[in-house]
Amino acid sequence: MNISLVLGIGAVVGALEGVTIFFAPEEPYKLEIFLAATLKGLFVSLLTGLSLTTQSLWWQGLSYGLLYGLALALIVFLAKGGFGNAHDVPYVLLGGVVAGVFIGLLVAGFGFS
């Protein structure tokens, strides 16, 4: 596994997910959320890369990325107040799953070449 490439994939996809917070004018902690999303992308990418082997297929990368992306998005969702803060559900959970899927596909496709 090319660890620097795997971490780079996670950082870029996480940053792309986090940059969307700058379109929410009412959010006071934009920089902190952007950095947290980038770090979450790094973790998802690292976990996915450590779960795959050189013989892993694209759908295995997608599955691991989806699993780890959902798990970390669920942690963020619960830390933000869970269902008491229900207007964030589609953004946090769906964004984490979509970013995890992209990270998984990219890590499976490029992280072991």
pLDDT for the residue numbered 82: 78
Nearest to 48 by CA among 3, 94, 113: 3
Contact 68, 44 (CB under 8 A): yes
Contact 100, 70 (CB under 8 A): yes
- pTM, entire model: 0.90
Using alpha carbons only, how large is the chain's radius of gyration in Å?
14
In this prediction, residues 79-95 reach a mean pLDDT of 79
pLDDT for the residue numbered 41: 96
Mean of all residue pLDDT scores within the chain: 92
| pLDDT over 90 (residue 80) | no
DSSP state of 52: -
What are the residue ranges spanned by the domains of the chain? 3-110
The model's confidence at residue 16, banded by pLDDT at 50, 70 and 90, is: very high
